[in-house]
Every structure is written in structure tokens, then in C-alpha cells.
């Protein structure tokens, strides 16, 4: 069997969907159950991590810019295509593909954000295009609704040779709700495979980011937030609450990754994008992990913190209660006072939620690793 795997989803650098795709591609290759070809895009940025992947797994890679997909399928006798992130469907022409396509739809973020009138709440710090979208969503909501539904090619997904998978029961329900045209099409749920890299908290490895290194080596306590540059992560809610928390806990710091800003306060640190090693270090030494997100298809970041026993305070929306059960403290991403109350609560019950974090991580570790084998089997046998 010849399988064409999507490498485009992770060729440009780190993302949740990219890591998901990379892990599954690795498993398909190492299973030796198929001859694997890789699909990449020469016009997109190529990250060093992608080059390392190609070096470790020397499969034949094919440039989608040089050869039409229909020709690739015919030339290499491709029987199945695995697409790890659904957004690729809108970037390239898959309409004439006749072989089996297995596509993972991670979430319907645009639908949830726009149709629930959340876009007007988002804070865009940069990017004229993003700010224009926000303006249009406020002034012309009907146009915005149409844009949300144009982000997924429903006519393609309805085809008999296209098989949809997703990463949570919430995402499955969202697909069925927003797209009744799919009828009774089967949509199996496979939780995304877990990255099991874990650092020794007591080992002072080399840390590239000097600010993070000093913070940890000085044994400072800090609240950690990630992906600060993504408006949907809603970090400004916590930044406002932190001003009040600082009056009660003046020794605590707030650390935000993924956002390059100058802070006018010594106890708020913006660390821009950290290397994967430094990000692990930040997770490992956090006091509390805070996740005020508006929407998730699965919601991976809390799990990254939980493997170090870090108590988590997270939004009570979309997929998160399904994934994390009673192992975390929930709050509404719309109410500052609710988040303030829950932070005080988790600090008062710190040891309880530290133990719950570790327990839930071990439970999910088993479940997510089983999911990896299940989805690979589905891709190869459906």
C-alpha cells in the first residue's frame, strides 16, 4: 500500500496540529505497513525541525507546487492520503482526488468564535488583516458568518472517499451541529497522541532564555500562560486579574510566552516564543498554569503542565471539561471575578490539585497512546 502523508502541516515550525501530524506520520513510517511518501510545499518556510524529520525518516518527499495532486497520485500509485490539519483542504486543490483521504478536523474555532459573538472581545495587538477582520465582524456580522462557513470545504468532506476524524467528542458534536449536510457520516474520535518528553525539575539544564533561567534559579513563584500572541487564548483576562492578585501575593510573577511586549511592571514577564526545551522548563517550574481560552478542539497545554504536577486553572468551555474532568479548577473566560475567586481557591487547595494533575496525566497518557495506534490503524485499513 502506498500512502501520501501531509508534511506541510509541520514543515514551517511548531504548532499543536503540526505536532499531531508529525507524530502520526512517524508511526505510519515505523509501522512498515505501507510505502510512505511525504507531501511538502517549497513555497512555504522550511523549519530546521522539518529537516531533522526528513533526515531521521528518509522517505521520498514530493513538492505540491511542482506536480498537481492528481498526477502525484497516478505516478506513485497512491491509495491513501493522510491530512493532519483540515485547513490544508482550502489551500490546495483536492477536488479531483479519487483515492481515500483521511482528514483530521481539530476544531471549528472560526465558527464558535464568530457565531457566538466572541470576535468582538478579542484583542489584536498587531496585524492589519486581523484588526480588519475584527472591525468587519462588528459592523457586518452577516459577512463574517459566511466567512466562518467558507473555512471548511463541506462539499469535499461529503465525498464518499473522504473520511473525517476528530480529536474530542466536543469537536465531533460541533461538526455535526454546524454541518448537518454530512448526515450520518461516521466521524470517529481519537484523542491526539501525547508528547512524552519530561524534564527533571531538579536538573539545571542549559536554558536559552536568560529571563526564564534567572526566574527559576531564583526560585520565584509564577503563574504561566502560553500562546499569548493568539487572541483566542484571552490572556488579557488574567492580566487584569493579576493586578488584583499582586496586592495579595506580591511575590508572585506572571509569565506569558508567545508574546513580545515590553511590560511596565517588574512582575509581568513576556517571553516571546521559547524553544521547545525552554517551554518544557517553563511548564516544569510553574506554580499555577492558567488557561483562559475561549475555544479548544482538544486543549493540549494544560496536559503539558500536569505532567509536572502543576495545578491548572482553566476555562470551563468547549472540550476542556471532557478532557480534564475534576483534575483542574474551572472558571468562565468571560468573568474576571470568577477567575480571581478560582485562583484563590486553587492556591488554598494547592496540594490537592497537584496530586490530581499527576493522576490525570497518567490516566491520559495511557488513553492517548492507545489512540495513536487506533488512528494509524484507521488510516491504513478504513
Q: Which domains are delineated in the chain?
A: 2-108+152-189 (3.40.50.11720), 110-151 (no CATH), 210-367 (3.40.50.2000)
Helix (H) / strand (E) element for 270: namely strand 268-270
State the pairing for strand pair 80-83/100-105: parallel
pTM of the model: 0.90
Q: pLDDT band at 204, cuts 50/70/90?
A: low
Mean pLDDT score of the chain: 90
Q: How many angstroms separate the Cα of 314 from the Cα of each of 178, 311, 323, 330, 342?
A: 25, 10, 12, 5, 9
Q: How many angstroms separate the Cα of 94 from the Cα of each of 18, 68, 101, 169, 247?
A: 20, 10, 9, 27, 56
User: Which long-range contacts (C-beta less than 8 Å, at least 24 apart) are formed by 51-54?
Assistant: 53/7, 53/10, 53/22, 53/26
Range of 54-58, 133-137, 262-266, 350-354 with top mean pLDDT: 350-354
Res. 151: pLDDT tops 70: no
pLDDT at 80: 97
pLDDT at 114: 85
3-state secondary structure of 32: coil
pLDDT at 132: 66
Q: pLDDT band at 310, cuts 50/70/90?
A: very high
Q: Which residue has the higher pLDDT, 197 or 257?
A: 257
pLDDT at 174: 96
- Which residues, 6+ apart, have CB-to-CB distance to 125 below 8 Å? 229, 259, 261
CA distance 112 to 315: 15
CB 295 within 8 A of CB 279: no
Q: Which three cell numbers stand for residue 291?
A: 488557561
CA distance 64 to 97: 13
Q: Which residues pair with 170 in a beta bridge?
A: none
pLDDT at 147: 57
HSE-CB for 335 with a 13 A CA cutoff? 11
Q: pLDDT band at 34, cuts 50/70/90?
A: very high
- Which residues, 6+ apart, have CB-to-CB distance to 111 below 8 Å? 148, 149, 151, 174, 178
Q: pLDDT band at 314, cuts 50/70/90?
A: very high
Average pLDDT (206-214) is 91
Amino acid at each position: 500500500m502506498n500512502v501520501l502523508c501531509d508534511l506541510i502541516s509541520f514543515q514551517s515550525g511548531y504548532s499543536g496540529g503540526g505536532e499531531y501530524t508529525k507524530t502520526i506520520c512517524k508511526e505510519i513510517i515505523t509501522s512498515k505497513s505501507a510505502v510512505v511518501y511525504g507531501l511538502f510545499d517549497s513555497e512555504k518556510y522550511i523549519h530546521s525541525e522539518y529537516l531533522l524529520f526528513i533526515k531521521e525518516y528518509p522517505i521520498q518527499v514530493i513538492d505540491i507546487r511542482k506536480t498537481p495532486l492528481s498526477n502525484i497520485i497516478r505516478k506513485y500509485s497512491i491509495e491513501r492520503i493522510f491530512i493532519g490539519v483540515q485547513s490544508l483542504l482550502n489551500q490546495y486543490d483536492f477536488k479531483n482526488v479519487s483515492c481515500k483521504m483521511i482528514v483530521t478536523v481539530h476544531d471549528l474555532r472560526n465558527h464558535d468564535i464568530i457565531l457566538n459573538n466572541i470576535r468582538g472581545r478579542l484583542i489584536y495587538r498587531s496585524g492589519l488583516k486581523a484588526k480588519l477582520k475584527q472591525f468587519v465582524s462588528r459592523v457586518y456580522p452577516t459577512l463574517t458568518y459566511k466567512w466562518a462557513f467558507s473555512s471548511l470545504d463541506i462539499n469535499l468532506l461529503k465525498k464518499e472517499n473522504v473520511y473525517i476524524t476528530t480529536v474530542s467528542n466536543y469537536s465531533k458534536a460541533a461538526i455535526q451541529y454546524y454541518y448537518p449536510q454530512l448526515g450520518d457520516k461516521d466521524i470517529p474520535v481519537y484523542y491526539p497522541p501525547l508528547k512524552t518528553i519530561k524534564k527533571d525539575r531538579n536538573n539545571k539544564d542549559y536554558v536559552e532564555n536568560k529571563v526564564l533561567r534567572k526566574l527559576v534559579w531564583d526560585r520565584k513563584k509564577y503563574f504561566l500562560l502560553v500562546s499569548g500572541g493568539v487572541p483566542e487564548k484571552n490572556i488579557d483576562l488574567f492580566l487584569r486579574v493579576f493586578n488584583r492578585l499582586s496586592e495579595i501575593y506580591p511575590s508572585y510573577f506572571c509569565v506569558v510566552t508567545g508574546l513580545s511586549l515590553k511590560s511596565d511592571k517588574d512582575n509581568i514577564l513576556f517571553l516571546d516564543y521559547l524553544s521547545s526545551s525552554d517551554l518544557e522548563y517553563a511548564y516544569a517550574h510553574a506554580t499555577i498554569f492558567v488557561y483562559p481560552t475561549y475555544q479548544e478542539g482538544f486543549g493540549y497545554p494544560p496536559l503539558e503542565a500536569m505532567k509536572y504536577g502543576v495545578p491548572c486553572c482553566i476555562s470551563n468551555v468547549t472540550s476542556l471539561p471532557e478532557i480534564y474532568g475534576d483534575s483542574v479548577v474551572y472558571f468562565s473566560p468571560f468573568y474576571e471575578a470568577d477567575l480571581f475567586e478560582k485562583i484563590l481557591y486553587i492556591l488554598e487547595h494547592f496540594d490537592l490539585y497537584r496530586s490530581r494533575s499527576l493522576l490525570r496525566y497518567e490516566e491520559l497518557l495511557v488513553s492517548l497512546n492507545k489512540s495513536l495506534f487506533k488512528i494509524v490503524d484507521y488510516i491504513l485499513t478504513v
